[in-house]
Amino acid sequence: MYKEILNHLPYKSSFRFVDNITELNEDGVRGDYTLRADSFFYEDHFVGNPVTPGVIITEIMAQIGLVVLGIFLISKESGFSGGANEAMFPLFTSTEISFHKMVLPGQKVTVISKKQYFRFGKLKCYVEMFDSTNELIANGMFSGIVKRVGIKK
């Protein structure tokens, strides 16, 4: 089932920041991503000393913690099948994040998201990111809407 959810993510390979989903239920999600050393954003951030930009850390947290969970919840609620003429489109409405550690190329991060509420199509989650030693990298609240949209041919 997790693979089915991953197939519905609306991102191409260079901007898809989800490798695995290890837990997924109506209350939350747990997944991981390993940052590739050859990713486009390391070339200039920072020259000679690459560090993962905060916006990428935020995106990883959002893709696993909000989008994956949102697709799962909408699928359960409305019977989304992901047919050829239908897709999911994530819309963020707000984030409030605290950063605690740097993330370097090659690091594997784990994201844990706990649903705060899902009603009227809006999802709010408390999301945390940890490194491989279980140290907190970042945490915060994410809100958004994951909409079903028809695909124009």
Residue 70: name the closest of 117, 32, 17, 31 by CA: 117
The span from the CA of 8 to the CA of 76, in Å, is 14
Question: Are residues 105 and 48 in contact, defined by beta-carbon separation less than 8 angstroms?
Answer: no
Q: Is 45 a catalytic residue?
A: yes
Q: Choosing from 39, 41, 45, 82, which is the catalytic residue? A: 45
The residues carrying an active-site annotation are 45
